[in-house]
A and B are shown apart, each in its own frame.
Chain A
């Protein structure tokens, strides 16, 4: 009964490739997020979607493109991967876009070689 799930858990790829990470939540939440956790363990928000509409778009290279086919799914596509993209990417969801607790997925560790 995983609340927020992500696939894959690990992703190893070469520079220049394109890859996608998928996220699904079964909590009935309206809002979903993508975070990046770097090697120093800082968690930073990248994007947020509320009911399929983009509401937060941080300063992220446009090689990163989120897509939300419905409010239970939020995918992250990354073009032309670079070494600096290596990190752990977390998906999260919350009841709404306001002051609500967010529930996180298990993370996807991306390694770019």
Chain B
């Protein structure tokens, strides 16, 4: 009954090779979608919040977009320091204020 699914599970990129990560959710009633970055041995670091379809947020080489059933995290011209696990999480109307996480996408950017 996974409510949040992230794909791919892992992504290997060459430095400068742009790509996108996907986060889809199966339950309706999205109140907010969050993207986090997690480095090995550390806690998740907040990146973006998206609230409604059509919304976009950008930070350096990262851009998050939201449609009615999914979100994309675009990484433009990545650098090795962008290597991390990227986590997507949602707050759904049916779940109160509980943040539900996807399994993450491990991104490795090779120089």
Are A106 and B103 interface neighbours, CB within 8 A? no
**Among the listed B41, B42, B100, B103, which residue makes an inter-chain contact with A41, where contact means beta carbons less than 8 Å apart?**
B103
20 more CB-based (< 8 A) A-B contacts, given A40-B103, A45-B100, A102-B46: A4-B43, A41-B103, A42-B101, A43-B44, A43-B87, A44-B101, A45-B98, A56-B97, A56-B98, A98-B97, A99-B31, A99-B49, A99-B97, A101-B49, A102-B34, A104-B45, A104-B46, A106-B42, A106-B43, A107-B43
Decide yes or no whether A97 CB sits under 8 A from chain B: yes
Question: Which chain A residues lie closer than 8 Å to B104 at the CB level?
Answer: 41
Q: Is A34 an interface residue (CB 8 A)?
A: no
Cβ of B94 under 8 Å from chain A: no
Q: Chain B at the A interface: mostly helix, strand, loop or mixed?
A: strand
Query: B99: CB under 8 A from chain A?
Result: yes
CA A40 to CA B42, docked complex, whole Å: 15
Which A residues are CB-close (under 8 A) to B100? 45
**B interface vs A, CB < 8 Å?**
31-32, 34, 36, 41-46, 49, 51, 85, 87, 89, 91, 96-101, 103-104
- Distance, CA A44 to CA B98, complexed state (A): 10
**Bound Cα distance A101, B35 (Å):** 9
- Residues of A near B87 (CB, < 8 A) are 43
User: Do A101 and B46 contact each other (CB < 8 Å), given the known contacts A41-B85, A42-B101, A43-B101?
Assistant: yes
Complex CA gap A4/B103 in Å reads 23
Decide: A56 near B96, CB < 8 A? Known: A107-B42, A107-B43.
yes
Query: What's the nearest-Cβ distance from chain A to residue B13, in Å?
Result: 20
Residues of B within 8 A of A33 (CB): 99
A-B contact pairs, 6 of them (CB 8 A): A40-B103, A42-B101, A99-B49, A104-B43, A105-B43, A107-B41
CA distance A101 to B32 in the complex (A): 9
B101 and A90 form a contact (CB under 8 A): no
Determine the residue in chain B with the shortest Cβ distance to A31.
Answer: B97
- In the complex, which residue of chain A has the Cβ closest to the Cβ of B96? A56
